């Protein structure tokens, strides 16, 4: 027998001490030996794979057969056959390391371990043959032998080679040898949490067949096997099944790692690999992002929704809960404030209460403040402040005293009084700066700040006039002693203030105080500026009512003022041309026909323009017998601008010309008095010339505006309660949704504007549970402001959702949408619901305020008799 060369560099690869190593050489024959044609062309030997065909001139011979057990090989490789031939090849030998009872604990190979079949070319070289010619054949290659390793772990270095390949054939058409067998018989395969890889393979492992030549065939590949792997592991080296697959049987085939059931993978999850492989279903997984929560990979919002049965059931339960809470809230509100909701409250009588909080020195003894009747009987003139009482244009009085009080004041001292009053009425720079900052942070805060500073300013003015100023401008000694000749008051909106001048009782003037007709034409400015928070209104206190009672019964005057204020509520500052028309029609159809029997006529007019362009609207009251006389608005009340100022600041180009109203007062002496009043009467034509200022928030006037009352106050309050609770619920759901995107999104929505998205709820609760219709209406307007302001936060929520949805992100595996359309592509649902909820709230708040302020719906009656009766 020829000796087959087996290259086993034991000194390089095996570090053995006391272990079993068996090395046997192969033979030229064997079970799978090759066959030889007549011309000596042979086929390859077989073992792990069949030997290659040997062919010559169309004649072929089968290669050696495959034999042995792939799962526990223990056979030599087979040769080319026909051992009588000098150039026959031998099969690979056997290399066995370890044993069943004594496996190797570890094997490290850095060189080569081979049990290869012999190449025909090598044998030819040994026999000093030249390359075979066409007349002489050659043997096939020998088959690979066996490498059987009983071990626990193995490590192949980068240069290591473990081979049992078939030999190459001769170049004359002989077949290549079949590949041998390599088997790893693992003694202990760790599983589960204690799993550790049992093989580190950086080198090469070969069991391929040898190549044939010309017409000869290549040998089949041999086998490379390992002990059957336990559950969860596969392959020769018992590796973990890939993520997303599981293996619940023993074996090494890759096909045994089955795909995990797709229906068991939650939305927004991906499979993960676990130590020791996956042996059973369900397969382990993880959520694709930390913002989703196990086990269902839901966001915080989805967890809440699915805890209560899913979107539809959750929505139904939420609606039912909101209705129940709204009923409880409405019942509590009715019990708490219902007794205070008295119908038809009369206008607040500012200045009517005796305020004892400011003590003052009176003449030699303490004298009580005169009552209202005495005040009206001694009232000489009402001088209105100019300006809207804003930080940029505070209240101020003109230095020139009006003609009506020139007889009771010292002009020089009056100028000093005006300087002191104007200095007190002016605001500090920091107050305006704070207002500007608060306007950026949240307009309701700025509005509350402005009203607070206005209130303090009015209190300071009243304190000054009542207790600090010595009334030195008055000629009456008694008035100076009693500090009663001058009083300051303002309308409830704190935008219109006035100074009343009274007689002291020691003037000894029979022509003072003047009667009502002596005061004509009389201007009655409106309070407010036509905005939602401060609508126009005619302020009628006891003094004015007492004066008008000289011609008009108080009940009729009260009714006229209430009806006019009901119409003025509907006037919008940004749409004066349109909204003043109903007021003009009402004056012609309801007011003047009722006043004609008392000899009085009223017209809508503008006047009191300031240097900054601010002017006021109001009523011009005059006697009917003077209606046909030349009428011009010139000067009245002393608090009007100079002639030059009125020219510089007309409300429109149509009103640029100065007109003069010559008002002749009928009396026994036929005294003709001329008064100069700067302004103009407004009628259906001239009102179209008013210049309307369209502010940046002009469109909001279509959402927030005063309306006519609709009644059903309890129902309106109930629906507002539902929407208020629904708004707050949607806010919380939106924040939960944004939290699943990013904590930064939640921060942006909460603080742009600061807490604006949360404040409508406490503002609404405060408005619903406040005492008194007037206070409730004022707080409801603040609630409406917060409701609209919070739209900025909702816009931020829209932007955050939009950028999150359109930001590039890896696709989610096995993404499954919700059946009811609540996946991430519909992030806009809650913000859109908030927008709709806030619009509905705005309309209901408008009705709620109207029901509180106008509880007598007959004030809007178009029927003359129904209105007055």
HEC sequence for 364-389: CCCCCCCCHHHHHHHEEEEEECECCC
Please compute the mean of the pLDDT values over residues 348-355 and round it to a whole number. 38
Distance CA 675, CA 502 (A): 21
Cβ neighbors of 273 (< 8 A, separation 6 or more) are 240, 242, 243
Distance CA 297, CA 303 (A): 9
How confident is the model at residue 148, as a pLDDT? 93
Q: Helices (H) and strands (E) in the chain — how many of each?
A: 22, 27
How confident is the model at residue 774, as a pLDDT? 87
Tokens representing 58 are 């169309």
pLDDT tens digits, one per residue of 741-771: 888 999 999 998 888 999 999 999 999 888 8
| Lowest mean pLDDT, pick from 69-83, 280-294, 514-528, 635-649 | 635-649
Pairing relationship of beta strands 204-206 and 161-163 according to DSSP bridges = parallel
How confident is the model at residue 300, as a pLDDT? 84
- Please tell me whether residue 22 adopts helix, strand or coil conformation: strand
Task: Give the domain ranges of the chain.
Answer: 1-227, 229-297, 381-513, 518-699, 709-808+818-853
- The continuous run of DSSP H or E covering 239 comes out as strand 239-240
Structural contact between residues 408 and 475, judged by C-beta atoms closer than 8 angstroms: yes
Tokens representing 130 are 């030249």
Tokens representing 148 are 């059987």
In the predicted structure, residue 348 carries a pLDDT above the cut 80: no
Please compute the mean of the pLDDT values over residues 688-717 and round it to a whole number. 84
In the predicted structure, residue 345 carries a pLDDT above the cut 80: no
In the predicted structure, residue 859 carries a pLDDT above the cut 90: yes
Pairing relationship of beta strands 54-56 and 616-623 according to DSSP bridges = unpaired
Distance CA 523, CA 636 (A): 7
Among candidate residues 40, 27, 208, 222, the one with its CA nearest the CA of residue 140: 40
Distance CA 273, CA 232 (A): 11
pLDDT tens digits, one per residue of 256-275: 999 999 888 988 899 998 99
Distance CA 646, CA 639 (A): 12
How confident is the model at residue 673, as a pLDDT? 37
In the predicted structure, residue 815 carries a pLDDT above the cut 50: no
Structural contact between residues 79 and 91, judged by C-beta atoms closer than 8 angstroms: yes
Residue 412, burial from CB neighbour count under 10 angstroms (0-12, 13-18, 19+): exposed
In the predicted structure, residue 113 carries a pLDDT above the cut 50: yes
pLDDT tens digits, one per residue of 435-458: 999 999 989 999 999 999 999 999
What beta strand segments (E) does 452-568 contain?
486-490, 497-502, 522-527, 537-538
How confident is the model at residue 860, as a pLDDT? 93
| Lowest mean pLDDT, pick from 220-234, 513-527, 635-649 | 635-649
Q: What is the CA radius of gyration of the chain?
A: 53
Average pLDDT, the chain: 82
pLDDT tens digits, one per residue of 829-841: 999 999 999 999 9
In the predicted structure, residue 337 carries a pLDDT above the cut 90: no
Structural contact between residues 421 and 473, judged by C-beta atoms closer than 8 angstroms: no
How confident is the model at residue 267, as a pLDDT? 81
Distance CA 703, CA 723 (A): 16
DSSP secondary structure string for all residues of 821-838: S-SGGGTTHHHHHHHHHH
In the predicted structure, residue 476 carries a pLDDT above the cut 50: yes
Please compute the mean of the pLDDT values over residues 598-622 and round it to a whole number. 84
Q: How confident is the model at residue 629 (pLDDT cuts 50, 70, 90)?
A: low
How confident is the model at residue 610, as a pLDDT? 63
Determine the distance from the C-alpha atom of residue 790 to the mean position of all C-alpha atoms in its chain, rounded to a whole number: 11
In the predicted structure, residue 19 carries a pLDDT above the cut 50: no
pLDDT tens digits, one per residue of 117-151: 988 765 544 444 434 444 567 888 899 999 999 99
Backbone angles phi, psi at 42, to 5 degrees: -110, 165
Q: Provide the whole-model pTM.
A: 0.72
User: What separation, in Å, do the N-terminal and C-terminal C-alpha atoms of the chain show?
Assistant: 140
How confident is the model at residue 808, as a pLDDT? 67
Structural contact between residues 80 and 142, judged by C-beta atoms closer than 8 angstroms: yes
- Please tell me whether residue 791 adopts helix, strand or coil conformation: helix
- Identify the bridge partners of residue 621 per DSSP, sorted by sequence position: 522, 602
Among candidate residues 118, 136, 134, the one with its CA nearest the CA of residue 126: 118
How confident is the model at residue 602, as a pLDDT? 94
Tokens representing 849 are 């305020």
Q: How confident is the model at residue 678 (pLDDT cuts 50, 70, 90)?
A: low
Helices (H), 520-575: 542-548, 554-568
pLDDT tens digits, one per residue of 232-248: 999 999 999 999 999 99
In the predicted structure, residue 656 carries a pLDDT above the cut 70: no
Q: How confident is the model at residue 824 (pLDDT cuts 50, 70, 90)?
A: low
Top pLDDT among 646 and 840 is at 840
- Identify the bridge partners of residue 163 per DSSP, sorted by sequence position: 114, 206
Top pLDDT among 693 and 158 is at 158
CB neighbours of residue 356 within 10 Å: 8
pLDDT tens digits, one per residue of 70-101: 988 989 999 887 777 777 888 999 999 988 88
Backbone angles phi, psi at 560, to 5 degrees: -65, -45
Question: What percent of the chain is modeled with pLDDT above 90?
Answer: 48
Please compute the mean of the pLDDT values over residues 472-484 and round it to a whole number. 89
Cβ neighbors of 494 (< 8 A, separation 6 or more) are 389, 451, 454, 455, 458
How confident is the model at residue 713, as a pLDDT? 87
- Please tell me whether residue 591 adopts helix, strand or coil conformation: helix
In the predicted structure, residue 209 carries a pLDDT above the cut 50: yes
How confident is the model at residue 617, as a pLDDT? 92
Q: How confident is the model at residue 551 (pLDDT cuts 50, 70, 90)?
A: very high
Name the packing angle between helices 829-853 and 791-806 (round to 10°).
170
CB neighbours of residue 270 within 10 Å: 17
- Identify the bridge partners of residue 524 per DSSP, sorted by sequence position: 619
Please compute the mean of the pLDDT values over residues 46-73 and round it to a whole number. 89
Please compute the mean of the pLDDT values over residues 809-828 and round it to a whole number. 53
């Amino acid at each position: 027998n020829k000796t087959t060369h087996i290259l086993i560099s034991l000194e390089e690869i095996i570090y053995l001490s006391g272990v079993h190593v068996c090395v046997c050489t192969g033979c030229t024959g064997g079970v799978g030996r090759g066959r030889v044609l007549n011309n000596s062309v042979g086929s390859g030997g077989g073992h792990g794979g069949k030997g290659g065909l040997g062919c010559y001139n169309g004649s072929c011979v089968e290669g050696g057969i495959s034999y042995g057990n792939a799962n526990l090989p223990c056979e030599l490789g087979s040769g080319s056959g026909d051992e009588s031939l000098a150039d026959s090849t031998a099969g690979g030998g056997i290399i066995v390391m370890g044993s069943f009872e004594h496996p190797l604990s570890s094997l490290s190979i850095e060189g080569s371990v081979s049990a290869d079949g012999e190449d025909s070319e090598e044998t030819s070289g040994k026999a000093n043959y030249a390359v075979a010619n066409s007349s002489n054949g050659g043997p096939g290659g020998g088959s690979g032998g066996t490498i059987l390793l009983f071990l626990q772990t193995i490590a192949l270095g980068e240069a290591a080679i473990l081979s049992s390949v078939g030999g190459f054939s001769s170049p004359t058409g002989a077949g290549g040898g079949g590949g041998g067998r390599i088997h790893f018989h693992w003694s202990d395969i760790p599983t589960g949490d204690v799993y550790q890889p049992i093989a580190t393979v950086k080198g090469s492992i070969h069991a391929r067949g040898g190549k044939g030549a010309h017409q000869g065939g290549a040998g089949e590949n041999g086998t490379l096997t390992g002990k059957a792997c336990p559950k969860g592991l596969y392959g020769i080296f018992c590796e973990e099944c890939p993520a997303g697959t599981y293996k619940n049987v023993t074996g090494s085939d890759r096909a045994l790692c089955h795909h995990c059931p797709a229906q068991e993978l939650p939305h927004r999850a991906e499979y993960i690999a676990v130590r020791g492989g996956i042996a059973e279903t369900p397969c382990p997984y993880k959520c694709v992002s930390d913002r989703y929560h196990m086990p269902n990979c839901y966001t915080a919002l989805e967890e809440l929704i699915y805890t209560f049965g899913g979107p539809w059931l959750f929505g139904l339960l939420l609606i039912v809960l909101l209705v129940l809470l709204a009923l409880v809230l409405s019942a509590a509100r009715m019990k708490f404030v219902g007794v205070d909701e008295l119908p038809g409250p009369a206008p607040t009588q500012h200045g009517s209460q005796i305020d004892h909080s400011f003590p003052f020195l009176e003449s030699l003894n303490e004298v009580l403040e005169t009552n209202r009747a005495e005040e009206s009987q001694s009232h000489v003139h009402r001088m209105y402040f100019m300006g809207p009482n804003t930080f940029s244009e505070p209240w101020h009085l003109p230095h020139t005293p009006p003609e009506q009080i020139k007889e009771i004041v010292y002009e020089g001292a009056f100028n000093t009084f005006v300087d002191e009053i104007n200095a007190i009425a002016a605001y500090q720079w920091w107050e305006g700066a704070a207002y500007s900052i608060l306007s950026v942070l949240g307009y309701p805060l700025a509005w509350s700040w402005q009203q607070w500073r206005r209130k303090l300013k009015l209190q300071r003015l009243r304190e000054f006039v009542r207790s600090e100023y010595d009334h030195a401008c008055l000629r009456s000694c008694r008035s100076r002693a009693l500090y009663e000749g001058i009083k300051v008051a303002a309308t409830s909106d704190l935008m219109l203030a006035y100074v009343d001048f009274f007689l002291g009782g020691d003037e000894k003037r029979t022509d003072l105080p003047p009667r009502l007709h002596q005061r004509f034409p009389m201007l009655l400015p409106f309070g407010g500026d036509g905005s939602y928070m401060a609508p126009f209104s005619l302020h009628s206190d006891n003094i004015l009512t007492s004066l008008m009672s000289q011609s008009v019964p108080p009940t009729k005057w009260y009714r006229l003022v209430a009806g006019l204020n009901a119409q003025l509520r509907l006037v919008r500052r940004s749409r004066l041309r349109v909204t003043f028309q109903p007021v003009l029609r009402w004056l012609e159809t309801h007011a003047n026909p009722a006043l004609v029997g008392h000899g009085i006529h009223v017209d809508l007019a503008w006047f009191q323009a300031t240097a900054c362009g601010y002017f006021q609207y109001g009523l011009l009251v005059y006697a009917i017998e003077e209606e046909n006389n030349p009428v011009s608005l010139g000067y009245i009340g002393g608090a009007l601008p100079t002639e030059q100022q009125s020219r510089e600041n007309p409300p429109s180009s149509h009103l640029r010309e100065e007109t003069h109203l010559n008002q002749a007062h009928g009396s026994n002496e036929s005294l003709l008095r001329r008064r100069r009043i700067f302004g103009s009467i407004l009628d259906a034509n001239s009102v179209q010339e008013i210049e309307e200022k369209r502010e940046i928030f002009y469109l909001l006037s279509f959402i927030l505006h005063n309306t006519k009352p609709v009644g059903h106050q309890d129902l309106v309050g109930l629906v507002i309660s539902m929407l208020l609770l629904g708004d707050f619920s949607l806010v919380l759901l939106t924040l939960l949704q944004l939290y699943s995107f990013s904590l930064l999104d939640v921060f942006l929505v909460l603080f742009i504007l600061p807490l604006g998205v949360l404040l409508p709820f406490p503002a609404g609760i405060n408005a619903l549970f406040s005492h008194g219709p007037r206070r409730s209406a004022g707080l409801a307007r603040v609630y409406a402001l917060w409701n609209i302001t919070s739209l900025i936060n909702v816009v931020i929520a829209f932007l955050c959702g939009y950028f999150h949805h359109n930001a590039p992100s890896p696709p989610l595996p096995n993404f499954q949408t919700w059946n009811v359309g609540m996946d991430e592509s519909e992030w806009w649902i809650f913000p859109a619901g908030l927008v709709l909820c806030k619009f509905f709230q705005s309309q209901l708040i408008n009705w709620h305020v109207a029901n509180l302020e106008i509880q007598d719906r007959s004030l809007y009656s178009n029927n003359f008799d129904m209105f007055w009766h």
